[in-house]
A and B are shown apart, each in its own frame.
Chain A
Amino acid sequence: MSKTLYTLIVYSENIAGVLNQITAVFTRRQVNIESLNVSASSTQGVHKYTITAMSDEDTISKITKQIEKKIEVLQANYYTDRDVFILETALYKISTQNILENRNISKVVRMHNAMMVEVNPTYSIVEKTGMTDEIISLYEGLKEYDCVIQFVRSGRIAITKGNVERLDAYLADREAHYIASKKSE
């Protein structure tokens, strides 16, 4: 089966050890995580994981279901790039001396619409937010001048193209069901 880059969005309770359980599901099925971003979500006490992995749909759907089965996981869904709006950020540390000596370096930065966020006598830092391709392209461009001292990329963050935050609707629905079942008892 052909492999695609999938983006998983997982919501969990903010409890220690959940990340461990999520990554273990990938490990068991021998799927590598390409990138991972974990942060607080818009819902109080809920963490949001954005995970990318190369896989086929059959495997990724099983992984998603097995993640969702974990007690502390509220919801897990998988998407292709068509279904989500994606961004990544990268930082490039460059020797200031190099920039002064070679004017092409700042030209590359401008061509990629990147920003200089720090300049001091020894080094400068360039920041680029965008799609994976753009970030890699800037890196390749700078590498030509052999000036990159450090380079770091963030994990992908993604927002679904649907209108509602599905988690809030889900939680409200569960709460309502529970209260209704209490009343009917």
Chain B
Amino acid sequence: MRSLEAEGVDTIFGYPGGSIMPVYDALFDHTDRIKHILVRHEQGAAHAAQGFARVCGKVGVCLVTSGPGATNTITGIADAMMDSTPIIVIAGQVGKAVLGTDAFQEVDLVGITQPISKWSYQIRSAEDVAWAVARAFYIASTGRPGPVVLDFTKNAQVEQIEDYAPKVVDYVRSYLPEPDTDPLSLVKATELINNAKKPFVLVGQGVELGAATEELKAFVEKGDMPCGCTLLGLSALPSNHPLNKGMLGMHGNLGTNVKTNECDVLIAVGMRFDDRVTGDLKTYAKQAKVIHLDIDPTEIDKNVKVDVAVLGNCKKTLKKLTIMMKANQHKEWIDSFAPYEEKEYNEVIKKELNPGEGPILMGEVVNAVSEATSHQAILVTDVGQNQMISARYFKFTQNRSIVTSGGMGTMGFGLPAAIGATFGTNRTVCLFLGDGGLQMCIQELGTIMEQQAPVKIIVLNNNYLGNVRQWQAMFFRHRYSFTPMMNPDYVKIAQAYDIPAKRVIDRKDLQAGISEMLNAEGPYLLEVAVIEEGNVLPMTPPGAPINEMLLEC
């Protein structure tokens, strides 16, 4: 406990159990300094820690017991690994003497988590605690952040040591958080940028993780370079910034994807060329010289071969490039996005936001909520249509404003992550999820009830697993194999948890419902019955060239 306090931990998400009881007993005496949030399932603890970490930038901590407690966090650990989220999972483990004997609730957690964590370590004696905890925080939070697992044997929890003192770890000789930047790479990158007629910047979450949003803005403004953002990088540049041309990828904006395959210099900052961003790699940005700024050398050339790799923290490298490069104007190139923006607006966005009559559409709900919060809120999403639609239509004015499961695409992520987010910020937290994802971690409504965590839950209910249904319609001849969803009465469920709730079926009640939700002091559940067979458009079919987006289906 003192090691955790020494690292500045004030919030823990957890669930007690046999092998972690000594730690929980100690926690009982520290509740004045450490707030413990009792979740209803360990998966919820891991996702809540992620939500917390993503909004405030601190390391999210979760505390669980051995065996099933530990394995229940696996999805969250893998998710945090994919999305570079700094969390620490402290799991109980059976005593050293019975390790390897299939003791009650024993599981080889280090073995299981090694491939899905940044670092995984078993603490077998009390002498190890201060060192391991300090090292865990250092590793989780530095360089490219990621999850760390501490497997804490019961004997190490109860042993007493003399002269306890928290340790500080700021150097591990086998771990280089920030690779050195080759000065020559900066020179080469500058040359490419200066000579570019049609530069295009890809903005990833690395910009937020590196706290480089100001540096990014200065960089793109000096070079007058248009940008596209990845899903996780959406709030790294304000949505209304004139150079922000929208989202990249499968359900991104038409202009950004088309222009990716037209630009002459592609500058990727803190992103990893995920297949959902690139589509078919064989046709991806082949015409362009590619510059890749990243802190993680394994990302260089992993998916897209680059011409210049600028390694290092983008806060520093962007700053250096901005100084080295010359100011530029690319008006004609930037204006060339406009016809595509117009086309997308006329053929997709206008219909989605102003349908006039008929069932409520998902996009108009998202847009209305975003406007009602003056685009100041934090967006948390689950996974699927609710995620893509809200990523498309929610607008951002501040950084660290989007919490979503990108790489893993974890259904059930949204509700616990939103709970975690409310403990990391004072801003309004709006959660969009579907009727499928809500039921995957629905037990966390109990946590919301107990903590009065002010999550604004918007359920876009279409009685389908909507995203899979959309794919079935497009690629599987409308064979809706197990995607229709039989739903309970969510308003009644919310009432059982004492969470104020309302169902909106009619468009005319939508604004009032949203106002009531936002005006409510604490949590609120707004269920919106949306069009059953609504589609997220535009869309690049999986494996297709990224510039070949479908505007209708």
Contact = CB atoms under 8 A, between A and B. Distances in A.
B174 A28 contact: no
Contacts of A24: 114-115
A65 B119 CA distance: 16
Contact of A65 (B115, B174, B298): B298
Interface in A49-96: 61-62, 65-66, 68-69, 71-74
A81 B185 CA distance: 30
A137 to B, nearest CB: 39
B114 A20 contact: yes
B173 interface: yes
B296 A69 contact: yes
A8 to B, nearest CB: 15
B475 interface: no
A102 interface: no
Given A17-B114, A71-B139, A65 B176 contact: no
B171 A65 contact: no
Contact of B172 (A17, A28, A71): A71
Contacts of B115: 21, 24, 28
B502 interface: no
Interface in B173-206: 173-176
Interface stretch (A104-112, A122-130, A149-157, A170-178): A170-178
A71 B110 contact: no
B144 to A, nearest CB: 9
B456 interface: no
Contacts of B176: 174
B111 interface: yes
Interface in B27-41: none
Interface string B466-498: 000000000000000000000000000000000
Contacts of A134: none
Interface in A25-59: 28
B147 to A, nearest CB: 12
B175 A71 contact: yes
Interface string B108-128: 001100110011100000000
Contacts of A72: 174
A13 B174 contact: yes
Contacts of A7: none
A24 B302 CA distance: 18
A110 B325 CA distance: 70
A65 B175 contact: no
Contacts of A71: 118-119, 139, 172, 174-175
Contacts of A178: 171
Interface residues on B, range: 10 to 19
B297 interface: yes
B496 to A, nearest CB: 45
A28 B114 CA distance: 13
Contacts, number: 39
A171 B139 contact: no
Residue with the greatest number of chain B CB neighbours at <10 A, chosen from A20, A24, A28, A65? A65
Contacts of B120: 17
Nearest to B175: A71
B409 to A, nearest CB: 19
**Looking at chain B's contact residues, is the secondary structure mostly helix, strand, loop, or mixed?**
mixed
Interface in A125-180: 171, 174-175, 178
Contacts of A65: 297-298
Contacts of A61: 301
Interface string B292-321: 000011100110000000000000000000
Contact of A175 (B173, B296, B301): B173
Residue with the greatest number of chain A CB neighbours at <10 A, chosen from B111, B173, B174, B298? B174
A97 B176 CA distance: 59
A69 B297 CA distance: 8
Contacts of B297: 65, 68-69
A171 B172 CA distance: 11
A20 B173 contact: no
Contacts of B173: 74, 171, 174-175
Residue with the greatest number of chain A CB neighbours at <10 A, chosen from B171, B296, B301? B171
Contacts of B118: 71
A49 B473 CA distance: 52
Contacts of B111: 17, 20
Given A174-B173, A174-B176, A69 B114 contact: no
A62 B297 CA distance: 10
A95 to B, nearest CB: 41
Contacts of A74: 173-174
Contacts of B171: 178
Contact of B302 (A12, A17, A62, A174): A62
A178 B173 CA distance: 9
Contacts of A13: 174
Nearest to B302: A62
Given A71-B119, A71-B175, A73-B174, A66 B298 contact: yes
Nearest to A175: B173
Contact of B114 (A12, A21, A62, A66): A21
B174 A17 contact: no
Nearest to A174: B173
Interface in A1-25: 12-13, 17, 20-21, 24
Contacts of B114: 17, 20-21, 24
A174 B118 CA distance: 21
Contacts of A69: 296-298
A40 to B, nearest CB: 16
Interface in B222-241: none
Contacts of B301: 61-62
A67 B171 CA distance: 20
A173 to B, nearest CB: 10
Contacts of A66: 298
Contacts of B175: 71
Given A24-B115, A62-B298, A174-B173, A17 B139 contact: no
3 pairs of A and B residues whose beta carbons are closest in the complex: A65-B298, A74-B174, A71-B119
17 contacts: A17-B110, A17-B111, A17-B120, A20-B111, A20-B114, A24-B114, A62-B298, A62-B302, A65-B297, A65-B298, A66-B298, A69-B297, A71-B118, A174-B173, A174-B176, A175-B173, A178-B171
Given A65-B297, A71-B175, 11 more contacts: A17-B111, A17-B114, A17-B120, A24-B115, A62-B298, A65-B298, A68-B297, A69-B297, A71-B119, A73-B174, A171-B173
Interface of B: 110-111, 114-115, 118-120, 139, 171-176, 296-298, 301-302
